[in-house]
Each structure stands twice: as structure tokens, then as C-alpha cells.
Chain A
């Protein structure tokens, strides 16, 4: 049989240029970006997987979950006692256990957020400069108090017990709000949760746009990751960062064009299925006995927390 294979293709790899001394391309900055993008895709997977676990929490209708979220955020914001917030924390934790979620994984993130926004940022507010009271931790002592216009710097500067209570209250509020929000997100299919906003009067078209955006983030993350791997698999030798940037900007343009094409085709698919400018979405399934029980428990728990604590 006639062989038309170019000569270089039958040459052994060992005969080609030795690349052992060549420095590899510097892609650390890219790796980081791509890994973050891949992480976004993975997060969507994890969220979808969690929402399909069959437990009492996952089974609750997304409408009830949305109402519960709004109601509970209200309860958290008006509960002014640390004891009340602590009870709410315990209550939310028990819901996590019921939902069979990876409690440690979720709380790790929640605590980090609560620590930054509820502790580090508000900690200065517990100083006697801001919140007067009995100092329980002295951090600085001057010879005498100083006065400047309407401000007074006291002789001793330190954290007050009232200040600490305020910080702890804010920390718990943030912890509870974030963890309850995460509980809802992790136990509800995102598209169904978005659809539940229908009860708040959000137009169907807007809900569809959010759903599509979510879908595109997922598709785009995967495309970016795959494009990057294809790119990396063909990169050898010491390539200048400038060249890499040039290639990447070309790839970004390609992905942008691809998204445009995707959007046009999706629009055609909508038109072919009778879309004429106004989207009509179906409301979700009817509420079950289970949903009413869940709503009752949430409402009664909220009232008890406010009334008794």
C-alpha cells in the first residue's frame, strides 16, 4: 500500500530536539485562574448533588424555603440577646444534621465569613473609645485622658464587656444569617430556588435570565478549563509570558464568539418553540402536608425565640 505519511511522523521522538534543558512555560498565574474557574464548575456540581439527597429538608418546597429564609433572617436581625442567637445557632446546626450535609465543610466557610465580617471588622467597636463600659482587657494606658474638640481619649484604652457583647452578637448574627442562607442554597436545586422568586412577583423573564446565566457560568467554566488543558498539552519550551498573554487573549475572544453563537442558537431554539417575547414559566408543585409542617415549625420556632429569650 502506498505510504503518504510525512517523513517527520515516522522519525523516533529521541531524534528530535532535546528539550530537557529547556525551562517549562511559566503558567502559575494561569493555573490559579483556571483552577478557580474549575472550582466554580465543581461548586455547581456539589450544590446540585447536595440538593438531590433525599432528606426531610431537601423535600421541602422551594417556596416554603424562600419564605423561611426571609422570615428567619428577620428573626435573626431582631433577636437582641446573645442567648437567643445561640439558640438559633443550635437550631440551624440541627437542620444541617437533618439535611445530611457535610457540616464541617460548610461551617468552615461560614465561620471564616463570620470571623472576618462579624469579628475582625467590628472588633474595634468593642474598645471603650466606641463602646463605653467596664474594661475587661486593657491594651494601653496613658498618663492622663486627652481632649480634642468633642472627642475624649480616656487614660486607659481596652475592650469593654459591653463592647464584647455587641461584637459577639454581631458575630452570631452573621454566622446565623450566612449558615441559614447556605442551608437553603445547599438543599435546594438552584433553578427551583430561582423559580420560587415568582411568589415575590419577580417577572418570569428575569428568572429565566438568571437561570440561563447560571447555566452559562457552568458551561463557560468547563470550556475555559478544557481550552486551557488543550493549550497546556501543546505548550513546550520556554515561552515568553507576552506570547502566552497573546494566545490567551485570542482564546478569550474565541470563547466570547462561541458564547455569541450559543446565544443566537438558543434564541432560535426558543423562537422555534413559540417564544414571542414573553416567557411564561409554570409555578412549582403544590404544597404538601410536609411543607405545611415545616413552615409551622419554622414560624413557631421564630416566635418562641423572640418571645421567650
Chain B
């Protein structure tokens, strides 16, 4: 498979003081599904921002389809639009991603910025509303949606660009179990359709469900390990070392006990 994203020795810090990423090396192939896992504050979201060229690394090399992504290339209108068209970013907080007057405008925003004909944009928006089963939200103002609806609209607003790569920051955050299941199914469906998926999470159960290739970010903001989902999930010692599973108290009928586990994967007694 063709390598579509390549990060070599990437470093990034906030205000030149607070380190967010250190010496990151990661490559993603076309059609692949990659999970970036780590604790809160390990730099997962920052890494996605860098991949989407919303921020540029302090040092290191970022190649997109073999071409270096630099300030100059991103500011080039043609290249910038190509880059945006290829990558869709679904933010953790859908509230910030929804800024248009209505849901339908949200879905039309990106296609219209990409200068697609209005008919094509409208057709895409209508098909996406139907695909996600949210036609009833079409004319609703975005601030009048529930959390799950906002997330669905945020995804829909990115899908209408028809991006090759989907960057998803914490796909299951603040969603109820039913909506979580909906999103898991959706991500699998999109990946089967050929989309490259890169998502961040600290939910090991999501990794277990989707079986992506996994890159683990440690508290030190470095990639500690990459591997298949089963390689990572079965390395209990490693997951303990990066604090992704931990010892915790547990109640069974009348008794309480304490052991290492993550709620879904390592529930061993």
C-alpha cells in the first residue's frame, strides 16, 4: 500500500515552552486504520492537528503523499485546498466545529469552499444526511442540537468533502452507548469503503472493536510503541507502564478486590 503520511522526528511545543510532542516517527498507508492512544495530555490531539497541517512542527519532516508539508506549501492556495480536500478533521468538541447558520449549511460549507458546483454540493449534503439518518435536522440551527446530533452533524460536515483521510479526535467522547455503537459501525463502514482513518482515543475497548494499527503515546509525549491492536492489547506489562491500564478497586456482590484491568479488555480474575 502507498504511504500517504510520513512523520519523521517531529517535535512540537506550546509557546516554545511546554513540550507536546517529542521525536515522533509515524507513517500511515492509504486505506489503513490507525489509532493513536495515550492518556490525557500525552499529545494525541496535537499530533492530529499537525497531520492536518493546522499547526506546523517546530522541527522534523512531515511528508504528505511524498511531498513535504511546510508553511510555504500550506499557504499556497492550490496545494492548501488539495490538502484540505484530502483530509477531513473531526474535532473532539463538535461545538467548535459547527459554525454555520443551519445543519444543511454546515454540510454545504466545505464543498462550496472547494468551489464544487452548487448542485453537486447539495446532492452530497442530501445523501450524507440520509446516510447518517439525520434528514430531520436539515434546517435546524446547530446550537439547538443534542450532543450526539452535533457529533453526527460534525462527521457529516466533513464527509461532504469526500476526504481520502479522516482524522478523528476522540470519536466516542461524550456519547451515550447507543451513539457510540453507531459511530463504531460507521468508522468500520468508512474504512471498508477505502477511507484512511486516523483517530485518537484512550478507550482500549474501541481499539479492540476496530482492530486498527496502534501507536501508543506515552506521558513523555513520545511514541513508545506501534503495532497491531492485538500486539498492543496483549502486552499487559507495556500498557501498565504507559498507564493505560491500572490497578483499581472492584466490587463483586459483597466482596471488594483490587487488580489491574481495563474495563473491557483485561477483565481477568
Contact = CB atoms under 8 A, between A and B. Distances in A.
Given A218-B143, A269-B91, A282 B108 contact: yes
B52 A281 contact: no
Interface in A184-201: 189-192, 194-195
A272 B81 contact: no
A211 B96 contact: no
Contacts of B139: 189, 192
B100 interface: yes
A185 to B, nearest CB: 14
B89 A280 contact: no
Contacts of B77: 276
A195 B113 contact: no
A190 B118 CA distance: 23
Contact count band on B: 35 or more
B81 A276 contact: yes
Contacts of A192: 101-102, 139
A268 B49 contact: yes
Given A208-B100, A272-B87, A219 B122 contact: no
A273 B101 contact: no
A32 to B, nearest CB: 25
Contacts of B84: 271-274
Contacts of A272: 52, 54, 84, 87-89
B173 to A, nearest CB: 15
A274 B99 contact: no
B52 A208 contact: no
Interface in A254-283: 262, 265-266, 268-276, 279-282
A191 B101 contact: yes
**Which one of B91, B101, B139, B161 has the greatest number of beta carbons of chain A within 10 Å?**
B101
B169 to A, nearest CB: 11
15 contacts: A189-B102, A191-B100, A195-B101, A208-B99, A208-B101, A211-B99, A215-B142, A219-B143, A262-B96, A266-B96, A266-B97, A268-B49, A272-B52, A272-B87, A282-B108
Q: Which 10 A-B pairs have the closest CB atoms?
A: A191-B101, A274-B113, A274-B84, A265-B96, A272-B89, A273-B110, A269-B97, A280-B112, A282-B108, A211-B101
Interface of A: 1, 44-45, 48, 189-192, 194-195, 207-208, 211-212, 215, 218-219, 262, 265-266, 268-276, 279-282
